[in-house]
Chain A
Amino acid sequence: MPFARPWLAWTMALILLGVACAIILPRINAYFVYVADLALIRAIAAIGLVVLSGVAGQLSLCTAALLAVGAYSTGMLMTHLSVGFLPAAICGALVTCVIGTALAAPALRLTGLHLPIVTLAFGVIAVQLIGKGGKLTGGMGGLFLPPATILGWPLDTDLRRFIVIIGPFLLATAASVNFLRLKPGRALFALRDREVIAQALGVNTGGYKILAFAYSAFLAGLAGALYAAFKGYVSVDDFTLWDSIYFFVMIAIGGMTSVAGAIIGAVFVTAVPELLSGLAEASQLIFGALLLLIVAFLPGGLASIWRSWLRPRRAPPALDAVAPE
């Protein structure tokens, strides 16, 4: 974890957030809050992807499909079994976690580019299956959810939804930052570039891979569950292959191993198309050009801007720190 005193940085950031909200919110409208919600939800999944693909080097191109699993599980529980939002969301995240863990199985055997191809195939197949679900999943027409409530408090304004989303978002951020500072997280760094050496030192690389998949799938599922409840409607058109690629784009421009980068990347990928939407056809071209500029001129991603305000980056931890005692 690059920051010398991360808790201080995060604390200051959050206080700033609170003050900013108090000042800005009365002046903005539901549209802004909606986009912010979308960005935060995606950030949760992007943080998971940073852990899996950035830090642990297990490239996954099925993030959007995992979100779909979380979204549809939650949706189906709420719609068909009248489960409340909170339990449904937790179940959705857990179901996704289980499925994501199953993806770890091929990861144990495959090296290099083979793994992304497998995750790609899984993503395509999973979303297709959801689309064939008929009445259960709403098929290709999508599924409407009953209004979400938490212990009777209805989430019917964008502001309430924002409050509900920000909780898991902060938790996911804090948990991931913490996780990467502790021993299991530091072990994941080794998986990316020095797997063979780590194995030679007796590190249980297989176990850590499974952990990385489980952790990131849980976050993706949680993001999906929040997404479903907050929109009130899910359809497979929100979880295409391109959406998975865009999650990858989020962490790539953010700075592959940085949690802050994931958040910045998610905000970027959500907000910029909205800002460019007035330009219609030119928007994709401009977006692509922006990405090129960022990757060409900011080797550390957008997070490097953030980081340069704080202490310089430490090298990944020494390997003997992760070997079993």
Chain B
Amino acid sequence: MGRDPGRSRWFVSIIASSAVALVGLLIGASGAQAQAQPGVTDNEILLGGVYALSGPVRFITEPYEQGMRTVVDEVNAKGGIHGRKLKWILEDDAYQPARTLAGAKKLVERDQVFAIFGQLGTPTTLAIVPYVEQAKVPLFSANLPVDPAPKYAFGLQANYSDLIYPLTQFVIKTMPSKKIAYFYQNDDVGETGRIGLARALKESGRSLVADVGYERGTNEFETSVLKLRDAGADVVIAMGTAPSIATAMRQASALGFHPIWGTYAIGASGIMKKLLGPDIDGLIFASEEESQYSDSPGMREANELIAKHFPGASNDWVSMIGYGEGKILVHALEASGRDLTRDKLVASLNAMSDFDAGVLPVSFSPTKHVGAKSVKIFRWQGGKPEPQTDWIPIGGEQK
């Protein structure tokens, strides 16, 4: 069987037509797109959010969205900012970093938003940070695990390590004889929490009796719980999603194993309360926000407004984050004046060195783009989280 005579024709035609295609591409690409001040018109500021609108993580992003939407609607009801109303459009990323980047590009290039307002998730935020820096578009995400601080990207939530560090210190200080174990979701949440945990343990010369992980999305915690029990853990510091930790807690108590559970800000989550009911008592957590049950004027207003715009919504810590983000953005937009540009917004944000976002105190600077500035430890008692400490500055020692 000889060589196929068409083969050489094949290659020649492939190469020739590829050349034609490339030339066409380059011709087409030479037409540039002019850009005015994007997203700002006489009576409107266009903002875009890209995060999970579908998929398993939606139960976290929905309250997040409600918090932000409440602030946006309230501001618009009062006439907007310097005569401009806020228009907030959303793109779905289904918690896939590839799609987060697609959504961000869609918002910036096609829809010409002024800023990206609303993103939640570590790999998803990281996926678009290089892009927003390059495109010089302000980004406000719920979390920003980037060090050193980028120029255009901002975040609100404390890094998990900054929450677990004071939590672990609290446990060591108030329960010195109790054995500590770590129960973690095998992703960035668990990994980052461990940094804070390890630091606190090292400083006090303590170590873990058990270090047990689980895969995100699994429902099978029983063997993990068994390991924790058999190691004799008295305190379990848990990092993961609210349903996962609640399931583990439930399975533990079904086996008659009742350690003290400690976690990060999700401990305040209404989901935890709904899933555990009265069994939530005794849970301790570290949060950068006030408890939604607190009586401070800022929190009362937040609760009222969210209930007004989303009756029946469970007042969740994530909605607090969204609400706080909204308040911060609105304040920064106002401070930037009527002559609004992206750089001015960034400058206004950087200047907020001490701001009360209603539900939590925040601070920003050119080198600090993560808003959260202090942490409080809470314990659920009688169906409400009670503060156990005062505000602990992030990175500082506990008094």
Report A's interface with B, CB cutoff 8 A: 5-8, 10-15, 17-26, 29-32, 34-35, 38, 128, 131, 139-142, 144, 156, 158-159, 162-163, 166-167, 170, 174, 178, 181-183, 231-233, 235-238, 273-274, 277-278, 280-281, 283-284, 321, 325
B211-244 interface (Cβ within 8 A of A): 215
CB-based nearest B residue for A41:
B98
Contact A231 B23 (CB under 8 A): no
- When the two chains form their complex, are residues B191 and A140 in contact, meaning their CB atoms are under 8 A apart? yes
B95 within 8 Å of A (CB atoms): yes
Cross-chain pairs A/B with CB under 8 angstroms, 24 sampled: A5-B6, A7-B6, A14-B20, A15-B20, A18-B22, A18-B23, A21-B24, A21-B27, A25-B28, A25-B31, A26-B28, A31-B102, A31-B105, A141-B123, A141-B191, A142-B97, A159-B25, A166-B21, A170-B14, A231-B101, A235-B123, A235-B127, A277-B103, A280-B54
A12 to B108, CA, bound (A): 35
Given contacts A159-B29, A174-B10, A182-B4, contact A140 B188 (CB under 8 A): yes
B110 to chain A, nearest CB (A): 5
Q: Which DSSP category, helix, strand, loop or mixed, fits chain B's interface?
A: helix
A236 to B95, CA, bound (A): 12
Alpha-carbon gap, A144 to B133, bound state (A): 14
Closest to A38 in B: B98
- Cα of A11 to Cα of B92 in the assembled complex, Å: 37
* Docked pose: A291 CA to B10 CA in angstroms: 34
Establish whether residues B21 and A14, one from each chain, have CB atoms under 8 Å apart when the complex forms: yes
Residues of A contacting B23 in the complex (Cβ-Cβ under 8 angstroms): 18, 22
B18 touches A (CB below 8 Å) = yes
Closest to B90 in A: A280
A144 touches B126 (CB 8 A): yes
B134 in the interface (beta carbon within 8 A) = yes
Q: Which of A18, A131, A182 contacts B24 (CB 8 A)?
A: A18
B residues bordering A, Cβ < 8 Å? 1, 4, 6-7, 9-11, 13-14, 16-18, 20-31, 33, 53-55, 58, 91-92, 94-99, 101-103, 105-106, 108-110, 122-124, 126-127, 130, 134, 145, 186-188, 190-192, 215
Bound form: Cα–Cα A57–B28 in Å: 41
Name the B residues within 8 Å of A21 (CB-CB).
Answer: 21, 24-25, 27-29
Cβ contacts under 8 Å, B53 to chain A? 277, 280-281
Contact status A7-B10, CB under 8 Å: yes
CA distance A271 to B112 in the complex (A): 21
Most buried by A among B92, B95, B134: B92
B31 and A26 contact, CB distance less than 8 A: yes
Q: Provide the bound-state CA to CA distance between A238 and B27, in Å.
A: 33
Which chain A positions have C-beta within 8 A of B18? 14, 167, 170
Q: How far is the CB of A158 from chain B (nearest CB, A)?
A: 8
How far apart are B133's CB and chain A's nearest CB, in angstroms? 11
A11 with B97: CB separation less than 8 A: no
- Give chain A residues whose Cβ lies under 8 Å from the Cβ of B13: 7-8, 10-11
Instruction: Report A143 CB to chain B, min CB distance, Å.
Output: 10
CB-based nearest B residue for A8: B13
Contact across chains for B54 and A232 when beta carbons are under 8 A apart: no
Minimal beta-carbon separation of A149 from chain B (angstroms): 15
Q: A156-B134, A281-B54 are in contact. Are A7 and B123 (CB under 8 A)?
A: no
